[in-house]
Amino acid sequence: MERDECRRLLGSFSAYLDGETEARACQAIETHLASCEDCRVVVDTLRRTISLVHQSPLPGLPLAARQRLIQVLEQEGFIAKDSSWTDSV
Specify whether the CB–CB gap between 73 and 79 falls below 8 A. Answer: yes
Q: Residues 4-52: pLDDT tens digits?
A: 999 999 989 999 999 999 999 999 999 999 999 999 999 999 999 888 8
Q: Residues 51-86: pLDDT tens digits?
A: 887 777 766 778 888 889 888 888 877 777 765 555
Q: What is the pTM of this model?
A: 0.61
Enumerate residues 6+ apart whose C-beta is below 8 A from 12.
21, 25, 29
Residue 87 has pLDDT above 70, yes or no: no
Helix axis angle for 37-55 and 2-10, nearest 10°, is 20
Sign of the dihedral through C-alpha 72, 78, 79, 85: negative
64 — alpha (psi -120 to 50), left (phi > 0) or beta?
alpha
